[in-house]
Amino acid sequence: MNVVTPDWVKDAIFYQIFPDRFARDPDDDSAGAAGGGVQFQAWGSPPTSHSFQGGNLAGIAQRFDYLAELGVNAIYLNPIFASAANHRYIAHDYYQVDPLLGGNTGFARFLDAAHARGIRVVLDGVFNHCSRGLFQFHHLLEVGAESPYVDWFHVNEWPLNAYTPGERPNYSAWWDIASLPKFNTDNPAVREFLWDVGTYWLEQGIDGWRLDVPNEIDDDEFWREFRRRCKAVNPEAYIVAELWKPAQRWLKGDQFDAQMNYLFTRAVLGFLVGRDLDQTQTRTMGYGQIPRLDGPGFNRELDHIINKLYHPEIAFAQLTMLGSHDTPRVMTLANDDPQTVALAFLCQMTAPGAPNIYYGDEIGLNGRSDPYCRKAFPWHEPESWNHDLLAEVRRLAALRRRLVALRRGEFRPLHATSRLAVYERRLGDERVVVAVNAARRPASFQLPDDFGAALGEETVGAALGRPLRGGETINMPPRSGRVWSSAAL
């Protein structure tokens, strides 16, 4: 099979935004669609499962300069469609942007402004389940078994038990949560409805879809048709799936372009945090038990994820993660150690795939699992930011933009001992060597002899280093990372 993924993704640096918590423009006139008179929790208040802090699309647009300085050229938005949940994973209407975010008018302005800045926008598609407020499900609630939409869902008995606290619903719902009724995707009308949503928003100009729990629509042909229709609208549309485990079934080039690369995240955490990782925060969610990795194990795992699992086009389209709205913050898992997080960003920015920065990770936001990983971005408290980490992330993103080998070059492990891992990215004559010492003691290794010419050097947490030559022995300080390139830095 000829595997083709969107070429632009190789050069993308994504920024993932949870819309209610990133930025609020209180003067956004499109928010008038909300009807006025709305009340939000104070910005920066401790997050809860049901509270709204009022972030909106106009607020995001006001921060485009910040994102550009960070090196971002693509945004992944958590769901934005009309919903009664702050996370909006339960859609009332798939064709209407939530009025609290600015409505369809506000989204059109946001999308135009993003594209004018060269920023692509990928939306979150939740097609396995919906809200009790979706018209077709509400019809069942009102009418019962005689509703024309009775076959849109999986109903076990009547009347529907959709709002009794503490009782399981008597219809299929995601994780038996009553507010998340599951679509019957065997119904041709439902399939057409969901495929139409996919193409409708591409026709409005979005650049792709992140698909929520797509494996729970256990139907390869459904997703093949979804891909065919989306690519017919925009051949360069990015289709990335939330798949936490190896996903060869779906990543052959006929369904999804990539997955959220939590496999990479697990490897980074296992290597950089290792025995100090609080597994009580990982066992109960998608990460599961994360094995501790030494340097050789880390290189082997990266080699497996990047070079063995999938076609190279898929590997270079992966969405490379350090965390998301579904995970504890990377700073928290790193035991609030900024140097560990800086090294994680080094790995992310030098690995194949499109880096995805979860909003606030670059300034050191911490937080355990939902809702604490979804706190408001502290624009009002810049003194709380880790400005050194922010500068480091900006520098690493700029390095990735400068060196095409970091975006498009093949990956090859070079050397590893104990807690040291060294790997290479190569594209034609351009070569980049990356070394990471995860230990709390110095380590050393020898640069490859065949580098020949002098190499530029970047050091995590320091300015441009002196040029070195191939074959030279390198001494690595504790908890440090370095990058050398055959191209001028």
CB 166 within 8 Å of CB 160: no
3-state DSSP call for residue 226?
Answer: helix
Given 28, 242, 301, 361, the catalytic residue? 242
Listed in sequence order, the DSSP H helices in 316-445 are: 330-333, 338-350, 387-402, 404-408
- Helix (H) or strand (E) holding 425, with range, is strand 420-427
Decide if 25 is catalytic: no
β-bridge partners, 97 = 81
Distance of CA 300 to the CA centre of its chain: 24
Taking the CA atoms of 137, 141, 142 and 146 in sequence, report the sign of the dihedral they define: positive
Distance CA 319, CA 355 (A): 6
CB 437 within 8 Å of CB 476: yes
Given 124, 212, 294, 326, the catalytic residue? 212
Total Cβ atoms within 10 A of residue 251: 25
Distance CA 201, CA 196 (A): 9
Distance CA 321, CA 122 (A): 16
Nearest-CA neighbor of 99 among 157, 149, 170, 37? 37
**DSSP 8-state secondary structure symbol assigned to residue 25:** -
Decide if 212 is catalytic: yes
Taking the CA atoms of 361, 8, 66 and 38 in sequence, report the sign of the dihedral they define: negative
Token pair 């030279």 is found at: 472
Distance CA 463, CA 475 (A): 17
Please report, for residues 399, 453, 456, 485, the alpha-carbon distance to residue 464 in angstroms, rounded to integers and kept in the order given: 11, 17, 8, 12
Nearest-CA neighbor of 329 among 265, 382, 423? 265
> Which residues contact residue 49 at a Cβ distance below 8 angstroms, ignoring those fewer than 6 apart?
86, 370, 371
Two tokens, residue 9: 């993704």
Residues annotated as catalytic are 212, 242
